[in-house]
Structure 1
Amino acid sequence: MSASLLLVAVVAVIVAALCRRYGLSAPLILVLVGLGIGWIPGTPEVELDPEIVLFLILPPLLYSAAQDSSYQAIRANRRAIGLLAIGLPLFSTIVVGLVAYWTVPNLPLAAALVLGAVVAPPDAVSAQAIGRRVGLPRRLMTLLGGESLLNDATALTAFRVALAAAVGATASLWEGVSTFFIAAVGGLVIGLAVGYAVSWLRLWLTDPPMETAIGIIVPFGTYFVAEEAHTSGVIAVVVAGLFLGQRSVRLGYATRLQDDAVRKSIDAILESFVFLLIGLQLPFLIRGLAGESWIQVAIDATVVLLATIVVRFIWVYPATYLPRVFSSKIREREPQPPPRAVFVVGWAGMRGVVSLAAAFAIPMTTDSGGTFPARAEILFLTFVVVVGTLLIQGTSLGWVIRRLGVAADDAEQDRLAFAGAQDRASRESERRLDEMAAELADDDPNRHQVMMLRKWVTTQRNVAWEELGRGPEDIGESPTAAGNRMRLELLRIQRSVFINERDEGHIDDEVLRTALRRLDFAEGQMDREDL
């Protein structure tokens, strides 16, 4: 099994790398590749293990997303995010569950609600990736990101309650509400405690490799502790990630650079792995439906898929506009979004591996010893919802955004904000340089260093304003860009000389690595992304 999982990971990374190289949608291609590989004769069967997904894959992905999120933006949009991340999963659980109860033969209500909870949480990873590529307004990106951070906790808690009722455990409405409250509050407390402890430890260490190593194990440890305490591991990981993301500005630059590179690499591997793993499940799920009427199965799958897609629209439009009807404060504080923007939020409801993991976590038997009702059907219906939403909504989301004209140029506002902040930072730096120069004698050789630093600070300010005034249509090279180009050429020459010195035996590899590291940092200062 371990060899099979390793092979899946290798294939997934290769396919994802090719998709990124040629500008293709990696999640969709990976699912299709998994579907194809699953039918190759002799291919080892790789059944999705819910423990692997919930304990090894979900925590680092949530933690990374939380660290990249803006606490201020989430707080400013907490009402809208709460309606999407808490209200919508609960609404979807009930509505989709009732539709399945009325449609799927021999499916008890409790088991139907289990299915509703399983397919309730959207996976916003691919939606956010498409949104960044086509330029979704930042508020929509904040809503989708905030929803993805918290909706898993809501849906998985609802799943526990519905599952308890389906297997014969007592689960009244009050018990369900208290379970959700305890899980949420407990996860919040544990996440904050872990965040404080880890933040203090990393600042105390001042050791970039160990700080990054601690950051890698934080999501796993946080999730495990929270789950062992019978609270929400998802909420605990998200809170810890948000807290540490805010505190990351206190870390050294080497730790921040290293953290970012390591997290992005881990995210790329895990996201590729899970989407390929989704596609590989089809042969196993079909065998579980042996003897069933495929006409009835197709009808059930179509109805549940449509219900899952439509229920999101039924929720998002009233949730967007009704609060503004009844509250003047909301109307004054938040601009009313156009219906086309709300449609994009409704269409960005692709499901992911969390739904499949929850479905596979359904036990084979109930507490009374009987077989769990329609477990195979629930697994297959979940698979259809996940793959169907990825193929239908995932392939068309970018087109829908462009067709409706929802994309916005937040980049121009970012450049203006950055230029203003850089101007203030540069002027404050120049004020301090004036103080330093006043403390030096006229013949002090350090006055030359002050002059060089003043030129560097001036260049920083000029670059920010140059970028603000230059659009994609501008032709020609700015003075700063020309200077950077020349400096990069010199760095490449120096790098080549050091490598030749090593190859000719004049210096050893340790000296070469030290030299290359210094040159890399110098190049990295000029190779930042444009705001």
Structure 2
Amino acid sequence: MALFESTIILLLIAVALLQVARWMNVPYATMLAVTGAAVAAVPGTPQVTIEPHLALALFIAPALLSAAFDQSPRDLVRNWRPLFSLAFIAVLLTTAVVAVIGWSLAGLPIAAAIALGAIVSPPDAAAAAAIFGKLDLPHRVLTILRGESLLNDASALLIFNAALAFAAATPESPVSLVPTLLISVPGGVIFGVLVARIYLRLAPFTAGTLGATILQFSTTFAVWLIAERLHLSAILAVVAYAMTLAHTAPRLARTRDRILAYSVWDAAVFILNVLAFMLMGLQARTIFERLPHSEFWNAVGFALLILAVIIIVRLVWVLTIRWLVARIDDGAQDFAVSSKRESVLIGWCGMRGLVTLATAFALPDNFPGRDLIVLTAFTVVIGTLVIQGLTVDFLIRKLGLAGDDTSVDVSRGRVLMLDAALRALDGKAGPSAEAVRHEYQAKRKIAQDPDDPQGVTEQDQLRLRAIAAQRKVLLDIRQKGEISDEAFYRLEEELDWAELDASAQDRLKIVEG
């Protein structure tokens, strides 16, 4: 009961903080994590702990699915070389540099130092989604950053598991781990694709029911949990599962099911993200209380050093690889980002999140240097969310970067769709056919304007005016008790769908907070 009450209180606090974040124009992830840490410092605040494996399954699996579902496999293939340089080489490089510092300055055993490097090296998918969601970034930069956050956790966790095996002090454990590591990555991808194929065969049986939503959520968590039990990469399994669904499901799903699914998933992932970042901050007291007072400030100094190192290493790596590729092959534009300004932006965007903190908490209690590693992980998460999260919007404006204009593509696609609709009406005569044909022709005329291809027609404006009048009457007759509530809700739903169909695109957006 205490956990439930604490969760409700956290969500209510988060609602207020989301409004503050929107008013201050700062990423909500940063606001929630920092406030959580501040609340944890208040005497008498109840401790809310995260069970690491539960945290990863509960918070990361849905966030990964949501991010991967929106990620184009074609864009990932097109940018595979920059993604490889960030998701794998940059992770290895960061891990190595952090491990050397941890071993030489903090006196950590080499296995523990490598584990620390693997924990703090990967930027986080949930943090990326929370930060980048409100920013107007070029499509190529967004593809690389999101794609990296989907893939780098897998490479980091492989290194982390290898470090744990080396720290186990049994000579055969690292050797026996090699086959598992070699199977984990491809096995996770194959498993995710396989489950997606099974899901697509089962989904029609629940189409049009609320059970479809239950199936979607339970299958997502099942992919993660079963992959972990099979010692496969749970992260890559969920990513492969989501991308397979995104490629196939739109042809099979019914319209109403799809709208419901998008609405439910957007809300659920957002609530889980809000809780995750709040809980992240609330871990501060647990972390600080475990460290002896005599070691505290030395540990904080080391953690801040690692924070600075991971930011610098990433920025230097991105700028260096761009310079090297430009020197070796001027035509390799898909490897290096297209401009130095974009390189600086990608190098700066390395926010860490829940995966880093949960992995640190997953260390055994007797693991060498565990308290120092957990404190460092927490410092890196909060530090990157604050330093990079709060400055990335300013950096985008300073660099003069802006999102790609997709209005031309929207205009072209809308015109082609309306042409198909008009061809479907060929040969149809009568007042009804003429009325529908006239409406589509009006929409086609507006769609040819790239500046506002989804604007409303004169017919839409008249429909909205008529719908407003209908809604007023519906509310009046319900107030007078002339219709039942059941009839009211059915008619209200009809009006809502009609209003959405007639409304401009910008009226459909819901902002955070």
User: 2:482: which partner in 1?
Assistant: 506
> 2:389 aligned with 1:394, yes or no?
yes
Task: Give the superposition deviation at 1:165.
Answer: 1.2
Q: Is the 8 A contact 1:149 1:238 kept in 2?
A: yes
Query: Equivalents in 2 of 1:528, 1:241: separation in Å?
Result: 30
Q: Does 1:457 align with 2:429?
A: no
How many residues of Structure 1 are paired with residues of Structure 2 in the alignment?
504
Equivalent residues in 2 for 1:81-230, closer than 5 Å: 81-104=83-106, 106-170=107-171, 178-230=179-231
Distance 2:20 2:152 in 1: 28
1:404 paired to 2:399? yes
Query: Which residue in the other structure is 1:322 paired with?
Result: 324
Residues 481, 133 of structure 1: alpha-carbon distance in 2 compared, 3 angstrom cutoff:
farther
- The answer (yes or no) to whether the contact 2:166–2:174 under 8 Å persists in 1 is no
Aligned-pair RMSD on alpha carbons?
2.5
The letter for the 2-side match of 1:508 is: S
CA distances 1:326-380 after superposition (whole Å, capped 9, x unpaired): 457634x678521121111010011111111000000012xxxxxx211111111
CA distance in 1, matches of 2:162, 2:6: 31
2:299 counterpart of 1:297:
yes
Identity, % of aligned positions: 31
Tell me the equivalent position of 2:49: 47
Aligned-partner Cα distance in 2 for 1:176–1:401: 43
**Distance in 1 between the 2:501 and 2:357 partners?**
43
**Paired letter, 1:427:** D
- CA spacing shift, 1:418–1:191, aligned 2, 3 Å: same
Asked if 1:435 corresponds to 2:427, the answer is yes
Give the structure 2 partner of residue 63 of structure 1.
65
Give the distance between the partners of 1:424 and 1:307, measured in 2 at CA: 51
Which runs of no fewer than 5 residues in structure 2 stay unpaired?
A: none
CA contact (8 A) 2:357 2:374 kept: yes
Tell me the distance in 1 between the aligned counterparts of 2:129 and 2:362: 27
For residues 121-175 of structure 1, what are the alpha-carbon distances to aligned partners after superposition, in whole Å with 9 as ceiling and x for unaligned? 1125444555454421000000011111111111112111111112324478776
Q: Quote the Cα distance in structure 2 between the aligned partners of 1:277 and 1:320.
A: 38
TM-score (norm 1): 0.88
Q: Please state whether the residue corresponding to 1:238 is helix, strand or coil.
A: helix
Q: CA deviation at 1:90?
A: 2.2
Equivalents in 2 of 1:275, 1:336: separation in Å? 31
* Structure 2 residue aligned with 1:384: 379
Give the match's secondary structure for 1:230: coil
Whether the aligned pair in 1 keeps the contact of 2:208 and 2:256 (CA below 8 Å) is no
Aligned residue number for residue 261 of structure 2: 259
Task: Give the Cα–Cα distance (whole angstroms) in 2 for the partners of residues 378 and 323 of structure 1.
Answer: 35
Contact 1:38 1:282 in 2 (8 A): yes
1:64, distance to aligned residue in structure 2 (A): 1.0
- For 2:359 and 2:413, the matched residues in 1 are separated by 46
What are the ranges of 5 or more consecutive residues in structure 1 without an aligned counterpart?
366-371, 438-446, 472-477
Give the drift of 1:83: 2.0
SS across alignment from 1:293:
helix
- Compute the displacement of 1:292 (Å): 3.0
Distance (Å, rounded) in 2 between the aligned partners of 1:479 and 1:309: 43
CA distance in 1 between counterparts of 2:148 and 2:87 reads 5
- Tell me if the contact between 1:19 and 1:25 (Cα under 8 Å) persists in the aligned partners: no
Looking at structure 1, the residues matched to 390 and 464 of structure 2 have their Cα atoms a distance apart, in angstroms, of: 40
Please state how far the C-alpha of 1:393 moved relative to its aligned partner: 1.0
Q: Is this contact kept in 2: 1:34–1:279, CA < 8 A?
A: yes
What amino acid sits opposite 1:460 in the alignment?
K
In 2, Cα distance between equivalents of 1:479 and 1:253: 22
The correspondence for 1:415, drawn from 407, 414, 439, is 407
The alpha-carbon distance between structure 1 residues 154 and 3, as it changes in their structure 2 partners (threshold 3 A), is: same
Asked if 1 retains the 8 angstrom alpha-carbon contact of 2:407 and 2:452, the reply is no
CA distance 1:417–1:201, shift in 2 (3 Å): same
Alignment of 1:481-500 (within 5 A): 483-500=459-476
Structure 1 residue matching 2:242: 3-state secondary structure? helix
CA–CA distance in structure 2, aligned partners of residues 492 and 20 of structure 1: 33
> Given that residues 56 and 358 in structure 2 are in contact (C-alpha distance below 8 angstroms), is that contact kept between their aligned partners in structure 1?
yes
The equivalent residue for 2:31 is 29
Q: Could you say which residue in structure 1 is the equivalent of 2:356?
A: 355
